[in-house]
Structure 1
């Protein structure tokens, strides 16, 4: 079994609720491509969407969603304005 699959299985087994954060689209120069993703739990992260401020904001938003009783659509502001939609 390859190490990526083993890492994913170990992460999923060791965490409670998990949020999937995925790059839905890009514009201009970006550190990661559309479809790049990371998994976020209350205490751990697996993967990256490119690092930096955007990733920190995405982790914070994902963790807020983990503790929210609501499920369904959500929208988050992109750095520099505009809305980014997703699901919870």
Structure 2
């Protein structure tokens, strides 16, 4: 998802009153599918964008949803 689409999704979620979090890759080591600065948005029932897929992305989504549920 490009920057414009990600920003558009964030604005739409805000307008809908939908809680969401931004997940961003802050640093990398070795071979990685996406680089530093890659972002995605996570809501309780949706994800926009990707930080590279796989196990790490799934863990990031789960962590973001725990934070959202905690308020």
Task: Assess same fold via TM > 0.5.
Answer: yes
Q: 2:35 aligns with which of 33, 36, 39?
A: 33
Equivalent position SS for 2:52: coil
Q: Please, what TM-score do these two structures have when normalized by structure 1?
A: 0.65
> Of Structure 1 and Structure 2, which has the larger fraction of its residues in helix?
2
Over aligned residue pairs, what C-alpha RMSD do you find?
A: 1.8
Unaligned runs of 5+ in 2: none
Residue correspondences, number: 67
TM-score scaled by length of structure 2: 0.79
Cα separation, partners in 2 of 1:57 and 1:37, compared to 1, 3 Å = same
Query: Is the 8 Å Cα contact of residues 15 and 41 (structure 1) preserved in structure 2?
Result: no
Which runs of 5 or more residues in structure 1 are unaligned?
Answer: 70-88
Report the CA distance between 1:13 and its aligned residue. 3.7
Match of 1:17 in 2: 19
Matched with 2:55 is: 53
Greater share of strand residues, 1 or 2? Answer: 1
The structure, 1 or 2, with the larger RCO (C-alpha pairs under 8 Å, 6+ apart) is 2
**2: CA distance between counterparts of 1:11 and 1:25?**
27
